[in-house]
Amino acid sequence: MKQFTSVKDIPDPIGLVQDTIKLKNNHRFSDLGKNKTIGLLFFNPSLRTRMSTQKAAQNLGMNHIVLNVGQDGWALEFEEGAIMNGTTVEHIKDAAPVMGLYCDILAIRCFPNLKDREEDYSEKILQQFIKYCNIPVISLESATLHPLQSLADMITIQEHQKQHTPKIVLTWAPHIKPIPQAVANSFAEWAVGCGHQLTITHPKGYELSEHFTEGTVIEYNQEKALENADFVYVKNWSSYHEYGKILDVQENWLLDNQKMSITHHANIMHCLPVRRNVELSDELLDSENSLVLKQAENRIYAAQIVLQKILETNF
Amino acid sequence: MKQFTSVKDIPDPIGLVQDTIKLKNNHRFSDLGKNKTIGLLFFNPSLRTRMSTQKAAQNLGMNHIVLNVGQDGWALEFEEGAIMNGTTVEHIKDAAPVMGLYCDILAIRCFPNLKDREEDYSEKILQQFIKYCNIPVISLESATLHPLQSLADMITIQEHQKQHTPKIVLTWAPHIKPIPQAVANSFAEWAVGCGHQLTITHPKGYELSEHFTEGTVIEYNQEKALENADFVYVKNWSSYHEYGKILDVQENWLLDNQKMSITHHANIMHCLPVRRNVELSDELLDSENSLVLKQAENRIYAAQIVLQKILETNF
Amino acid sequence: MKQFTSVKDIPDPIGLVQDTIKLKNNHRFSDLGKNKTIGLLFFNPSLRTRMSTQKAAQNLGMNHIVLNVGQDGWALEFEEGAIMNGTTVEHIKDAAPVMGLYCDILAIRCFPNLKDREEDYSEKILQQFIKYCNIPVISLESATLHPLQSLADMITIQEHQKQHTPKIVLTWAPHIKPIPQAVANSFAEWAVGCGHQLTITHPKGYELSEHFTEGTVIEYNQEKALENADFVYVKNWSSYHEYGKILDVQENWLLDNQKMSITHHANIMHCLPVRRNVELSDELLDSENSLVLKQAENRIYAAQIVLQKILETNF
C-alpha cells in the first residue's frame, strides 16, 4: 500500500476489514514499526483521529512526531510559481520533501474551506503532499474524504451485522454550522466498496457529489428510507451544489424513537463529535442501539491496519 | 488504586510516601507500563506537572498522548441534556469514554474559574471525566486540590525532617492575582493524612474550606505561627468565603529573614511557579533553607508511584 | 561535550563532521539514549529543527518532552532581582533548574527580538538556561547562532566537495522582513572552523559582526565574489549595524542562472524555509545544483552526533 486516501487505494476493502478484525482480536502489539517514524500533521483540530493514530503507532512500536501546522510551524504556500512576498513562509515544495526525509510515513489532517468547491474537491493540500513528500501518505480526513473513519465504520458494521446483506441508511441530520461532506462521501464509497446496500436520505438540495455516491440509492423521504434499516448512520453535511451553504429545511430531520421504530431495530452510528440534541438526541445516543463508541474504538485498529500494510509493503 | 484525586483515595498515605522514597532510590526505571498509554489532558497551562508526569510515564516504559484541550481539539460541553447549538462541539459524555478507549490511564489538569464556588468545589470537570471515561483518572491539579504536588511535598518533608514530629506551618503570602485554593487545601489534607502537625496562618477572611483543614490549627498571627517551625510552606490563595476575591490586607505578610529567625531554622517550601519578591523574596528562595527544587524533583516520583500503583492494581 | 551553542564548543570541528558522516552511513540506530530524556523548548516556531531533533533523539532511543514555552506553559522572567508583579509568572532561576531535574539534556530555540542588539548578542535567554539548568544545553538556534544548521551545512559540503579547498561564497539575498543574522554568523564561524575559504558578499551596510566573520573575505561586488565559486550559500539577514533594519538596496541581489554561470558549476545552499522567488528563484531551487534537501536531511545527523557526544561524555 503506497497511500491511504480513499477506498480506491485498497484493492480488497472487504479483506482489509477482515484483517483488521483479526488484528484487533489477536495481534494488538508488535515491533513492526521499530525505528520507523510517523509524522502527524494537523492543519485542523482533531481529538479521535489524533489520539487513535498515536495509539495505533505506539501499538506497532513506531515513533511519532506531531506537528500542528501554523501553530508549531508556519503558514505554507501551495501555489506553483508563487512570489512569496506575503504571509506564507515556506512552500509545500520544500516543506513536504523535508518532512519526507524526517519521517517514514506522513499522516495529514486538512479540512476544506467550504468556499471554493473546485479547490476543495481537487484536494490541493493532500495531493501536493503526496506529490512532493516521497513517502507514503495517510489521510487523517481531507477536504472530501475521511477514509480511516469509514474503515472503522465498516469494521463496526461487520462486527454487528446479523445477516449477510444488512440494509444501511445514511441520513442527513440538522446542524448549526456548515460541515464538510467528507464523512458522508467517504462512508458512501466505502459502503459500496465493501459490497453493502446503501440508501442515502437527505432533503432536496443536499445531494452529494455523484462521484462518491455511485451504486447507492437516493431516497428523499426519510421515513421511507428508514424502513427495515439495520444500520442508520446519522450525519450532517452542508450543500455540495450550493457549495458550503446551509439550505432552508422545513421538515424535521432529527431522528427520534418513533422514526427508529420504522427500522429493523437498527443500530445507530455517528462518527463523533456529535452536537447532542441538534444532530442526534440524548435518547438515541445513550440507547443500547448506539454504536458510536464502538466506531470510535475501531479507529485505533483502522489506523493500525493501515500503518501495518504500509510498513509491510514499503520497508 | 482506582483514582488519584485526593489523599482520601489513599488508604495509607504514610506508606505511599515511604514507597516513593524506595522507588526514587532504587527502582527508577522499569517496563511495568509497556504497551500502556497515559492520556494527559490539559485544560490549563502547566510546566512542572506536564514535564514530570511525562518523565514518570517514560520511566515506567509507558506511552503517552498529550492533548491540549481547546487548542488541539475543541470546546467540551459539561451540562447534562444540553441542546448543543452553541460553541461547544462535543459532550463530555462522548469525549471521555472515547479517551478511555484510547488510553489506559487518564490524567487531567483543570483549574477553577474562581467565580462560581459551588461549581468549582463540585469538581464538575474532573468528576465527569471519572464518571464517563471508564479508566483510572489522575488529577494533575483540579479545581480544589493538587494531590501530586502534595505527595511530592510529603516526600520532601519526610526526606528533610530531623525529628519525628516536625512543626509545619502553611503561611499565606501576597500575590497580585486571584489564585486557586487547590495547593493549600491539598497540602492541609495530606499533612493531616500523613500524621503531621500543621498550623495554617493567614489574614482574616482567607480561611480555607473547613472540609480540607480539619485537624489543623488556624493561627491569624503569622509571627506566633512561625515560632519554632521546622517547615514553612509559603503559598498565596484567594478568598474562599468571598469567593475568588483578593481582600485588602494591611499587614506585611511577605516572609523575610527576620521572620524566619523566629523559626527553628525552618526549611522553606513552595510549589512553584513563584512570583519572586512578591510571594517570596530572592533572599529566602535562594537560601540554603529553600526546598523548592527538591519538591519539584519529587514531582517525578510522586507521579511515578501513582502510575505504578494504578498499573499494579488495574492491569 | 558540555554544551553545543557555537563552533567554539567543539575542539575538532573537522573531526565532528567526519564522525557524523560515519554515523549517517553506518550507525543510525542505537540504544545509547535509553532512559534518557531530552527537553525541547521552543520560544519560537520551528519545523526542521523540531522534527529533525525529535528524529535524532528517537534514533538514539531517547525520550523527549516538547514544551512550547508561553503556549503550553507561561511567560518567563529573565531579569535578576525582578519584583514579579507583572506578566511574567516564573523566573528562569526557578524554571531552568526544574527542567534540568526532569531532563538529561535541554535543547532550546530562542530568536532575537532584533530591537536591542546588546541584549540579543548577549544571548540572554540561552545563557541563563545554561547558567541555571545544570545539564548540557543544545542551541536549536539562538539569537545570534544556529550551530546545528551550520554543522549540517558543513556535512553537506564535505559530502559534495570535489577538491580539497572549494571556494565557498555566502551571498546576501533579498527578503521582505527583518531576519536574524544567526544563520549567516554561524555559517561563517563554522566554515572558518572547518578550514574552509569563505567569501561573504552583501550590500554595503549589511556587514555582519566581525566577531563571527574573522578569517573570511568580504567582497561587496556579488559577481566578483561568485567567480569560480564551488558552493553558493544564499541567505538574507537584516542589518547588524543599523540593528534589525532593512536597508535600501538598489542593485539586484537575487541570484539567477546568469550569475550562476560565473561560478564553477556551484552547488546552491539555503537553510530553509526559503521565500521562493524573493530570496531564491524556483529555477535555481529546483535545479540539480540545489543541495537544500541534502542540508535538511543532514539536520538529523547533526543533531544525532551532538546528542551522542553529549551522552557519551556526560552520563
Is the CB of residue B140 less than 8 Å from the CB of residue B108?
yes
Q: Judge whether B59 is closer than 8 Å to chain C, CB to CB.
A: yes
Neighbouring residues of A263: CB distance < 8 A, sequence distance ≥ 6: A169, A226, A227, A228, A229, A230, A232
Give the model's pLDDT for residue A70.
73
pLDDT digits (tens, 9 = 90+) for C285-314: 999 999 999 999 999 999 999 999 999 999
Same structural domain for residues C251 and C305?
no
Give the model's pLDDT for residue B223.
97
Inter-chain touch A272–B83, beta carbons under 8 Å: no
Q: Calculate mean pLDDT across residues B158-187.
A: 95
Cis ω before C174 (30° cut-off from 0): no
Same structural domain for residues A137 and A161?
no
Q: Taking all residues of chain B, what is their mean pLDDT, rounded to a whole number?
A: 96
Same structural domain for residues A82 and A26?
yes
Q: Give contacts of B 8-37 with C, CB under 8 A.
A: 28-29
Same structural domain for residues A22 and A91?
yes
Which of B38, B46, B47, B156 best probes binding to C when mutated, by most C CB atoms within 10 angstroms?
B47
**If you measure CA to CA, which chain A residue comes closest to C283?**
A81
Inter-chain touch A47–B98, beta carbons under 8 Å: yes
Q: How far is C-alpha A129 from the geometric centre of its chain's CA atoms? A: 18
Residues of chain C positioned with their CB less than 8 A from the CB of B50: 65, 67, 72-73
**If you measure CA to CA, which chain C residue comes closest to B64?**
C65
Pairing of the two strands C217-218 and A137-139: unpaired
Is the CB of residue A55 less than 8 Å from the CB of residue B66?
no
3-state secondary structure B61-75: CCEEEEEECCCCCCC
Domain that holds residue B176: 148-295
ipTM (interface pTM)? 0.95
Q: Judge whether C103 is closer than 8 Å to chain B, CB to CB.
A: yes
Here the cell at position A28 is 494488538
Q: Judge whether A68 is closer than 8 Å to chain B, CB to CB.
A: yes
Here the cell at position B189 is 489534607
Q: Calculate mean pLDDT across residues B254-259.
A: 94
pLDDT digits (tens, 9 = 90+) for C106-122: 999 999 999 999 999 99
Inter-chain touch A65–C46, beta carbons under 8 Å: no
Residues of chain C positioned with their CB less than 8 A from the CB of B290: none
Is the CB of residue C212 less than 8 Å from the CB of residue C7?
no
Neighbouring chains of C at 3+ CB pairs under 8 Å are A, B
Q: Which of A63, A73, A99 sits opposite C58 (nearest CB)?
A: A63
Same structural domain for residues A291 and A162?
yes
Q: How many CB atoms lie within 10 A of CB C286?
A: 12
What predicted TM-score, i.e. pTM, was given to this entire model? 0.96
**If you measure CA to CA, which chain A residue comes closest to B39?**
A51
Q: Judge whether C281 is closer than 8 Å to chain A, CB to CB.
A: no
Q: Judge whether C91 is closer than 8 Å to chain B, CB to CB.
A: yes
3-state secondary structure of B179: coil
Q: Rounded CA gap, B213 and B207, in Å?
A: 9
Q: Rounded CA gap, B232 and B222, in Å?
A: 11
Q: Give me the amino acid identity at A314.
A: N
Same structural domain for residues B279 and B163?
yes
Inter-chain touch B47–C91, beta carbons under 8 Å: no
Same structural domain for residues A117 and A169?
no
pLDDT band at C45 (very low <50, low <70, confident <90, very high): confident
**If you measure CA to CA, which chain B residue comes closest to A58?**
B63
Q: Calculate mean pLDDT across residues B101-123.
A: 97
DSSP symbols for A91-148: EHHHHHHHHHHH-SEEEEE----SS-HHHHHTTHHHHHHHHHH-S-EEESS-SS--HH
pLDDT above 90: residue C226: yes
Q: Which of A46, A176, A286 sits opposite B85 (nearest CB)?
A: A176
pLDDT band at B143 (very low <50, low <70, confident <90, very high): very high
**What parts of chain A have a pLDDT lower than 50?**
none
Residues of chain A positioned with their CB less than 8 A from the CB of C286: 93
pLDDT above 80: residue B54: yes
Same structural domain for residues A274 and A171?
yes
Q: How many domains does chain C have?
A: 2
Inter-chain touch B47–C98, beta carbons under 8 Å: yes
**Integer angstrom CA distances of residue C294 from A136, B228, C149:** 20, 66, 12
Same structural domain for residues C192 and C121?
no
Give the model's pLDDT for residue B161.
95
Same structural domain for residues C196 and C262?
yes
Inter-chain touch B300–C101, beta carbons under 8 Å: yes
**If you measure CA to CA, which chain B residue comes closest to A44?**
B72
pLDDT band at B27 (very low <50, low <70, confident <90, very high): confident
Give the model's pLDDT for residue C5.
98
Same structural domain for residues A245 and A177?
yes
Q: How many CB atoms lie within 10 A of CB C115?
A: 10
Is the CB of residue C125 less than 8 Å from the CB of residue C93?
no
CB-based contacts of B5-9 (< 8 A; 24+ apart in sequence): B5/B123, B5/B126, B5/B130, B5/B137, B5/B138, B5/B139, B5/B142, B5/B145, B5/B147, B6/B139, B6/B145, B6/B147, B6/B186, B6/B189, B7/B147, B7/B150, B7/B186, B7/B189, B7/B190, B7/B193, B8/B189, B8/B193, B9/B147
Is the CB of residue C5 less than 8 Å from the CB of residue C314?
no
Q: Rounded CA gap, B7 and B307, in Å?
A: 15
Q: How far is C-alpha B11 from the geometric centre of its chain's CA atoms? A: 18
Pairing of the two strands C63-68 and C37-42: parallel
Q: Judge whether C176 is closer than 8 Å to chain A, CB to CB.
A: yes
CATH number of the domain encompassing residue A307: 3.40.50.1370
Q: Calculate mean pLDDT across residues B19-24.
A: 97
Same structural domain for residues A189 and A92?
no
